[in-house]
Amino acid sequence: MAAVETVLLYVILGAVLGIVWSLRKIYVLEARLVALDLKTEKLVENLVKKKK
């Protein structure tokens, strides 16, 4: 019976770690998108300044 409990514990632990890993990847991608948005905004501002 202890073997079944151990296997279930590892399965649950693996699922939790998988969820945490996915969330971490999402937050990293979100940070990259924000950085890209800021760079794009700065580029547009520079283009507008050059047109004037």
pTM (2 d.p.): 0.59
What is the mean pLDDT of the segment spanning 10-35? 94
Task: Please report, for the chain, the start and end positions of each structural domain, with discontinuous segments joined by +.
Answer: 20-52
- The Cα 20–Cα 12 span in angstroms is 12
Quick check: 38 pLDDT over 80? Answer: yes
Mean pLDDT of 25-39: 93
The confidence band for 44, taking pLDDT boundaries of 50, 70 and 90, is very high
How far apart (Å, rounded) are the C-alpha atoms in residues 35 and 28?
11
